[in-house]
Structure 1
Amino acid sequence: MKTSRNRTLYREVKNLLAGSERRAKENLDWLASNMPPFFFESMRGEPGSVTTLCRELESLRDNRHLLLAEREKALIVARLDVPGSLYETIRRITEREISYSEMSHSDAPLPGTGFFLEVQRYELDRKEEREIAAYEGAALPEAVRRRVLAAVRREYPEVQPKEQGKLLEILWKNSPSYVRFSPPERIARIVWLLNEGKAHGGVFFSLQEAGEVQESRILLA
């Protein structure tokens, strides 16, 4: 397993799989070895979806996609990473506005397919400004606030202290699950991006190196 942060979700899913087919547990091991750490971070609130993926992973050898969750405000789909896979999914949700999306890809081809695994996750809960202003949901957990603001101060000291908490609150009111389950460094980056967008009249573009891997991160606000 790539990181200790995987262990909580791993244990929870393994309990759900107790008594099921040996192959499903082998699939869980394959996911733990071949999916990026962020996949397990972001899916901590979706153990049932990961369980479905473990049980039905082989179905992607014959089917175009595997539906992991479909709710009023959420859609999670597993597919093979082939040309047009993203477009095919988005066509299904054209009547609903996407508030957040993420794509996770395996580091190795899915056995028996020759293609990499792709998990697409969408939140369909885009809010208008008046809804944010009238927000009456759960408050931002203090522990989450402390971790994120510490990351902002460390990574993006140019963000003014009075803006840090304000921007974090806006993110929380838009997507509590994203803020709750994402690494503090990722949320800090979005706080910085919002700040830069405001400072540049609502339009901002940045290209960053993505850590240790030889990839670049495109940021647009």
Structure 2
Amino acid sequence: TDEKLIIATINKPGTLFKTLDSIKDKEIIYSEMIHSNTFLPGQDGELELQKFHFRTDKEKSDSTPMFRGKGLIRKNLKDHYPDFNFQEFDTILQSFLENNRDYVALSPALRVARAMWLFQSAILQGGIFLDVEPTQNEKGQEETRLVFSVINPLFKGYLGKIIEIFYRLNIATQRNYILEIKDAEQHVTILSAYITT
């Protein structure tokens, strides 16, 4: 549809980069890329799912009715990102709801909390923020979570360029989540990439 694109493919080097290149003229508000844990039967790779949500006039005009998950997001921020400035909590959450209510309502509260922390961190750091966190996947394997946020990216199609850097450095990401948030003052891109270590 004009609002969403979902692609299922075999995981090969550069598949996400190629998809982003083919949709570089669309305004992405959210993208997600995940892999299956095992090879598909009879195939030489895992299943790769790519999901994209695009900004539309409908998205811009949607109202934002009451949201009930606020307390859980706040708790995850306190537990995992205690340096978050909670005086800005309501304002940032409202921006997230206005930009992509489905993301806030359907994503795990910790993922939303992390994205809010990254949004605030880019602003506090003067435009760009980068961090690396050790973590584990659902199988207990060690992973590295690379998180990145930037204010007002300079050119169209920059998401493809970010993924191209991973591709050219031969860095295989297992999962990627990219979120775009606009408010009255700025446009912030938020990226989380999971790399098996």
- Whether these two folds match at TM > 0.5 is yes
Greater relative CO, 1 or 2 (CA 8 Å, sep 6+)? 2
- Taking a change above 3 Å as real, the CA distance of residues 74 and 124 of structure 1, as seen in their structure-2 partners, is same
SS of corresponding position for 1:137: coil
User: C-alpha separation between the residues in 1 aligned to 2:5 and 2:143?
Assistant: 27
Residue 139 of structure 1 aligns to which amino acid in structure 2?
A: P
Higher strand share goes to which structure? 2
Instruction: State the partner residue of 2:144.
Output: 216
Q: For 1:116 and 1:213, how far apart are their aligned partners in 2?
A: 17
User: Aligned residue for 2:52?
Assistant: 122
Higher Cα Rg: structure 1 or 2?
A: 1
Which residue does the alignment assign to 1:139? 65
State the 1:149 CA deviation: 1.1
Q: In the alignment, what sits opposite 1:179?
A: 104
Among candidates 107, 110, 119, match of residue 40 of structure 2: 110
TM superposition score normalised by structure 2:
0.67
Hey, what does 2:179 align to over in structure 1? none
Q: State the identity as a percent.
A: 29
Distance 1:146 1:201 in 2: 29
> Which has more helix, going by share of residues?
1
List aligned pairs for 1:1-221, cutoff 5 A. Answer: 71-125=1-55, 137-141=63-67, 143-211=68-136, 212-221=140-149
Name the CA distance, whole Å, in 2 between partners of 1:84 and 1:196.
Answer: 29
Q: Does the aligned pair in 2 maintain the 1:98–1:126 contact within 8 Å? A: no
Where does structure 1 lack aligned partners over 5 or more consecutive residues?
A: 1-70
Matched position secondary structure for 1:215: strand
The answer to whether the 8 A contact 1:140-1:172 is kept is no
Conservation of the 8 A alpha-carbon contact between 1:149 and 1:165: no
**1:18 alignment partner in structure 2:** none
Question: C-alpha deviations, 1:133-186, integer Å up to 9, x for none?
Answer: xx6612241x21111111112211211221122211111111111111110011
In the TM superposition, what is the alpha-carbon distance from 1:120 to its structure 2 partner? 0.1
| Distance (Å, rounded) in 2 between the aligned partners of 1:109 and 1:136 | 40
Cα distance in 1 for partners of 2:141, 2:98 equals 32
Q: CA-atom RMSD, angstroms?
A: 2.0
Distance between the aligned counterparts of 1:136 and 1:94, measured in 2? 24
Q: How many residues align?
A: 145
Q: Deviations over 1:37-94 (max 9, x none)?
A: xxxxxxxxxxxxxxxxxxxxxxxxxxxxxxxxxx111101100001232133223322
